[in-house]
Structure 1
């Protein structure tokens, strides 16, 4: 039995995994969707990036001694990658779902050389939060109108400090057992940082023919892939 700790990306909470959790549990595994501080049902909690890392580490410690697969989607790949390097032998695998990956001393916005100023300006104009996407922003990502409406309704402003503070890695990311899921409608190739990590013997690439939010667009296929990474 494996415990999956599921962490969705920017603006989202534990609810984003509602269609993935049942399949993991039906296969006999633990499934633990996690809302990060400052989001969804934890709005109002002050959070920086290291707050989110600690949220994940605390959840692993709460679960007890079983092996853990950490799953980080989009933005959450950054705190999940840092947490994975801190939990030692508890880690069975880390799965990055079309996500950013942490680089020591770099932030989420560091990976947006052409859009960094736009994101930072948006945070400054919205009281320190990154405002959620609109329905129009979700077009072309293999989502139905109903799925887009659910995404937009459930999204909450994302704490800006988590996007601008630098990552602190406890060890080389390439030495962790990892799977990277690339969602092809969001770009056919992984970014340069991910491509370099994929040269490691410890990393593997899996492709999904869907958009950036596969927990909504293809939850059964995503569940199947996650189960293939269980111990």
Structure 2
């Protein structure tokens, strides 16, 4: 039995994994899919003080409270930043880091360093009436859709879980200065079925060698960004190779 900890991306909630969790659990694994502070059922906690560090604390707190070990830690999109800093905090608890169509940072980097277009979201939030709210990305015509989701029923479901992102999440740096993190294996899963990425949103190339010195592992799913919604079985199948 493995332990999977699935961390959702910006604007989403733990509900995003509802189609994946039972597939992993039915294979005999333990699965956690928490909602980070300020989203979904915790949206009332959102505010200008909530940031990347808050979300790192959410995940580290869950790992310690449940005494989780040998965790396959999956981060989707923005949560690539989250899982990186989590691994820095508790490297002895993490068996594998999975970057699911995610931001892959270096030590000290923010979301802007990884994906420069993020700066425009920060500027808009700081100049808005609230001064901190980053609204979800809009729905685009197919094949882009809403985070790569185009089926009308699925679009409505995804939209029902979306909430604003606190701008501080995009401003705080990742911490990856613990040498023990370099030993943790990494897997990258790329969603390749969406439209070509716009300037500033390009995915960083995965280097041929992981930080631990082994060859990099990159898998692909032919679908849009929210693959846990559009291709849950295919995603679960890949994750089960790690479990």
Query: What's the TM-score, normalizing by structure 2?
Result: 0.85
Matches within 5 A, 1:166-185: 166-171=173-178, 175-185=183-193
**1:206 matched residue in structure 2:** 219
**1:16 matched residue in structure 2:** 16
8 Å CA contact 1:48–1:159 kept in 2: the answer is yes
**1:120 matched residue in structure 2:** 122
**2:170 matched residue in structure 1:** 163
Query: What's the TM-score, normalizing by structure 1?
Result: 0.89
Distance (whole Å) between structure 1 residues aligned to residue 60 and residue 141 of structure 2: 32
Distance (whole Å) between structure 2 residues aligned to residue 116 and residue 22 of structure 1: 33
8 Å CA contact 2:101–2:191 kept in 1: the answer is yes
* 1:163-205: CA deviation from partner (whole Å, max 9, x where unpaired): 11111113366542111001112459x733x522x42216311
C-alpha displacement of 1:126: 5.4
8 Å CA contact 1:8–1:73 kept in 2: the answer is yes
Distance (whole Å) between structure 1 residues aligned to residue 172 and residue 84 of structure 2: 15
1:185 match: secondary structure: coil
C-alpha displacement of 1:80: 0.7
8 Å CA contact 2:97–2:185 kept in 1: the answer is yes
The answer to whether residue 108 in structure 2 is matched with residue 105 in structure 1 is yes
Give unpaired runs (5+ residues) of structure 2: none
1:217 corresponds, among 221, 226, 230, to 230
* 1:128-148: CA deviation from partner (whole Å, max 9, x where unpaired): 021012232774325311111
Distance (whole Å) between structure 1 residues aligned to residue 44 and residue 89 of structure 2: 27
The answer to whether residue 71 in structure 2 is matched with residue 62 in structure 1 is no
RMSD between superposed Cα atoms in Å: 2.1
C-alpha displacement of 1:53: 0.9
Residues 103 and 29 of structure 1: is their aligned pair in 2 closer, same or farther, counting only changes over 3 Å?
same
* 1:40-75: CA deviation from partner (whole Å, max 9, x where unpaired): 111132411111111111111122254211110000
**1:41 matched residue in structure 2:** 41
Residues 111 and 20 of structure 1: is their aligned pair in 2 closer, same or farther, counting only changes over 3 Å?
same
Structure with bigger helix share is: 1
